[in-house]
Structure 1
Amino acid sequence: MNRPDTQAPKKPDPQAKAGGEAEDTLYAVRQKVYPRAVTGIFATWRWILVWATQLIFYGLCWLPWGDRQAVLLDVVERKFYIFGWVFWPQDVFFLAILLIISAYSLFFFTAVAGRLWCGYACPQTVYTEIFMWIEEKIEGNRNQRMKLDESPLSIRKIGLKAAKFGAWGAFSLWTGFTLVGYFTPIRELVGEALSFSFGPWELFWICFYGGFTYLFAGVMREQVCKYMCPYARFQAVMFDPDTLVITYDPDRGEPRGPRKKGVEPKAVSKGDCVDCGICVQVCPTGIDIRNGMQYECIGCAACIDACDQVMDKMSYPKGLIRYTTENAMKRHWGRKEIVGHVMRPRIMIYAGVLVAICAAFVWGLATRSTLRVDVIKDRSTLSREVEGGLIANVYNLQVMNMTEKSRRFSLSVSGLEGVWITPAQPFEVDAAGLKAVTVEVAVPPESGKPGSNTVYIEVKAMDDETVSVREKTAFLLPR
């Protein structure tokens, strides 16, 4: 069989010189890629990840949690609500740990099996998959899309293109709307949409994110992965000869050539590759995996599914294109040897560090206090004499209630003999609220040495004595 074209026909180069020599340019004109639909185990896993990620993204903002939505990033109030947790700007430590876990996970999975993130869970891959599915449903399969693009302008072509672009645009705007719904309550946002009363910033971000979704997933597609994504450039640093990558087996496949179904390769002095080109046709970045590992490969494994189907039809063993390692390919290792070398010391260290960081993150969340107190000494008056000959210092307390129910708190002070605090009566802090409390701490002059002394101000929840904060501060006695 003859190998079909994998790209649209190339147009004559307008930059060609009269003598027939092509003039060198700094960039290559994009040749549109028409990926062919494919089925198989890896395509199934890819769609499972598409459904899982999008159900979380589009559904989580609609999940109620008490009288609010489960996940709400309230930038105006500087509070992030995530299920039963309320995070404040002071909790940026948890965000830093989460980013470290994400980066370390990326390095770990890349060292194990290459660009798994790119091939299955990256938003660019996920949304490109969705946009290509919409395109296929409206314009047809690969050959139909190529013929449509090559055909002259007609009512049918305009109608199909308008339907495709309209569906892309609607989906993109809904994506932008959903993203903004994590920052403005989604039900409130729906009300604004129905009454056409969006705030200027809400409308801007909906259009901004929707526009970039449309541009990246619908228009640029593989260009983002090939030229814009930095991960494609530095991934090779994380690879080694024992990293699982998608590889074509040249020892088994070469020399390539067409032949009839069922013909043994040795009978025609050829390898198992029938040179059908389907592995290239299904590639979303338009590369030929048979030319070796290339940075444009996103690790989606579409070529594996396609090649295995061809091998089945030819009654040849599967695995001409497969996940394997450089060492395994050179030394013809079996599965047992491959697994043994993939689980090498480097990977075990990565895994151990990742598990330790995740455990620390979970422990930090589980033991996170629901009360935070900042004690700031009033510097306008360092100390003063009050009724009864006592020496008083004034402090400003910032009491943060990190639960979603109002709480009453009591105050106490210790550290010096005869010390007392005013006001002594309990006070209330609203749910997920911050309250400023000014207190006066007084002691007899003989209770401490002149200068700085240490006292402890304790704030305790009256409904749960285990929720308390004891803050150390300085008490100044005049010399």
Structure 2
Amino acid sequence: MSERIPVKNISPVKVHRPDKSKHDNAYTPRSRIYVRAVTGLLENVRRLMGLWFLGIFAVLPWINYDGNQAILLDIGAQRFNIFGLTLWPQDLTLLAWILMVSAFALFFVTTFAGRVWCGFMCPQTTWTFIYIWFEELFEGSRNKRMKLDQRKMDFDKFWRKTCKHISWVTIALLTAITFVGYFTPIDHLFIDFFTFSASFWATFSIIFFAVCTYGNAGWMREIMCTHICPYARFQSAMFDKDTYTVAYDSRRGEHRGPRSRKASQQQNQEKGLGDCIDCNLCVQVCPTGIDIRNGLQYECINCGACVDACNGVMDKMNYPKGLISFTSETELAGGKTEIFRPKLIGYAIVLVIMIALLVFEIMSRLPLEIDIIRDRNSLYRETNGLIENVYTLKILNKSQKLQHYTISVSGLDGHIFKGKNEVSVEGGEILTLPISIAINPYSLQETVTEFSFTLQTAGGEQEPVKVAEQTKFLYPTYEYF
């Protein structure tokens, strides 16, 4: 075999661990992470996005549309009401399209900007930072929280811890009730839960999700991102050299070390010092507790906290910003990031196609469905010289309003219709309607004659909806010929 697999030589990454003699937090692989507060552009963007999506989550179940809860995912009734659209188990393809669009949107965003979903929009991150905010409110800054935990229990520590956990439980409970409100009418749910009159499953669901929220955002935090979330494991398959991720410019930052503010950047460079002053703030503000200076790590959620912290230090040192920034491997190597690359374009094309197919599926969906069931007891029966077939029509009104329908038969000349040809069906209801079709046997030319039942909306100002379903009329005609 003459062909050889090309081998790329990769220099090992030098891991820099915090110096215990310089910093007050001793490094251990799994010690509690005390996240330090940070301010900056990315932090403001993350907070605004978190508040925006949190507001949407909290408000949506309270919105009414046309007299009904706008979004109600009623699992018991097997129907999802999404504003004016009602989805049934028969509409499973729509759910499949939505999931595929979400997946390719995630692939596209990850290929372009890394794990920005985790850092700016993931519920786990949003609720974790909310809990940290309450932690800072009652227990103080990072150093104060560390000293508070080292103290023995006294009244000051007791009331601070108590208030913190009460706020955590309150947030968890409100989150759980709001979430369950997407599956149960939320206006009654709030009253029933606090008056202890809610159903068993509603109460169980609220308590279950409240415990999960309290445990995930209050205690597990980064464990969810580093050990449980599968996204951290397969994200690297979507990365390439032009993916924007939070990265440390080692060429500019090394060798790191403390220095005087009075010394200029050029003077420090002459001493062999880079721009990194080894203040360790990038580690202290990281919610997963990693050191971004060690290179790309799967624990990084691209929240940008270390970017804001480092930029603040660079401002104080009168150094240019960007020692830690959203950049690509290509830019760190001195090249130019190629945005329009085949991989990203491929994801974009597939995403557009998926969205187009989803829109087409929704636009072409009819709010009416009919199912025809033949009588299983007998294929046919004779009545007064006529041949009669019996059918059961199941009419599903997929809309959310009362609809009137007319029923007709096409493709069976000379038939006699026995049953109601005008019916009314409530929104989201299924009507079972028995119908008989009779015909003179001499009018039949074949043993099996195909024909159609046609349903059409009657009345109303909107354009009528028409649905036809084909079935068969059976009779052994050879007896008459």
| TM-score (normalizing by structure 1) | 0.91
Which residue of the partner structure matches residue 242 of structure 1? 242
2:146 is paired with a residue of what secondary structure? helix
Which residue of the partner structure matches residue 375 of structure 2? 378
Matched residues, number: 454
Which residue of the partner structure matches residue 475 of structure 1? 473
Which residue of the partner structure matches residue 326 of structure 1? 329
Give distance in 2, aligned partners of 1:424 and 1:153: 78
Give per-residue Cα distances to partners, 1:79-125, cap 9 Å, x unaligned.
21111111112111111111111111111111111101111111111
Which residue of the partner structure matches residue 14 of structure 1? none
The answer as to whether partners of 2:265 and 2:319 remain within 8 angstroms in 1 is: no
The answer as to whether partners of 2:193 and 2:203 remain within 8 angstroms in 1 is: no
Among 360, 363, 385, the alignment partner of 1:366 is 363
Q: Structure 1 residues 275 and 266 mapped into 2: Cα distance closer, same or farther (>3 Å)?
A: same
Following superposition, the deviation at residue 367 of structure 1 comes to 2.8
Q: Superposed, which structure 2 residues align to 1:60-459 within 5 Å? A: 60-268=60-268, 269=271, 270-330=273-333, 332-333=334-335, 337-338=336-337, 341-387=338-384, 389-459=385-455
Give distance in 2, aligned partners of 1:5 and 1:99: 49
Give per-residue Cα distances to partners, 1:360-406, cap 9 Å, x unaligned.
2122222321111111222211111223x222211111111122221
Give per-residue Cα distances to partners, 1:43-97, cap 9 Å, x unaligned.
1111112111111111111112233221111222222111111111211111111
Q: Which runs of 5+ in 1 are unaligned?
A: 12-27
The answer as to whether partners of 1:373 and 1:400 remain within 8 angstroms in 2 is: yes
Give distance in 1, aligned partners of 2:220 and 2:214: 9
The answer as to whether partners of 1:72 and 1:82 remain within 8 angstroms in 2 is: yes
The answer as to whether partners of 1:6 and 1:280 remain within 8 angstroms in 2 is: no
Query: What percent of counterpart residues are identical?
Result: 43
Give distance in 2, aligned partners of 1:156 and 1:384: 88
The answer as to whether partners of 2:458 and 2:464 remain within 8 angstroms in 1 is: no
The answer as to whether partners of 2:20 and 2:27 remain within 8 angstroms in 1 is: no
The answer as to whether partners of 1:7 and 1:33 remain within 8 angstroms in 2 is: no
Give per-residue Cα distances to partners, 1:221-242, cap 9 Å, x unaligned.
1111111111111111111111
1:409 is paired with a residue of what secondary structure? strand
| TM-score (normalizing by structure 2) | 0.91
Which residue of the partner structure matches residue 460 of structure 1? 456
**Aligned AA (1:375):** I
Give distance in 2, aligned partners of 1:457 and 1:6: 80
Give distance in 2, aligned partners of 1:37 and 1:153: 25
Which residue of the partner structure matches residue 16 of structure 1? none
Give per-residue Cα distances to partners, 1:249-299, cap 9 Å, x unaligned.
011111011112252333132111111111111100010000101111111
Q: Structure 1 residues 170 and 4 mapped into 2: Cα distance closer, same or farther (>3 Å)?
A: farther
Give distance in 1, aligned partners of 2:24 and 2:289: 8
Q: Which runs of 5+ in 2 are unaligned?
A: 1-18
Which residue of the partner structure matches residue 25 of structure 1? none
Q: Structure 1 residues 8 and 153 mapped into 2: Cα distance closer, same or farther (>3 Å)?
A: farther
The answer as to whether partners of 2:172 and 2:211 remain within 8 angstroms in 1 is: yes
User: Cα RMSD between the aligned structures?
Assistant: 1.8
**Aligned AA (2:318):** S
Give distance in 1, aligned partners of 2:463 and 2:232: 54
Give distance in 2, aligned partners of 1:143 and 1:458: 74
Following superposition, the deviation at residue 6 of structure 1 comes to 6.6
The answer as to whether partners of 1:272 and 1:320 remain within 8 angstroms in 2 is: yes
Following superposition, the deviation at residue 195 of structure 1 comes to 2.3
2:240 is paired with a residue of what secondary structure? coil
Q: Structure 1 residues 134 and 219 mapped into 2: Cα distance closer, same or farther (>3 Å)?
A: same
The answer as to whether partners of 1:370 and 1:403 remain within 8 angstroms in 2 is: yes
1:342 is paired with a residue of what secondary structure? coil
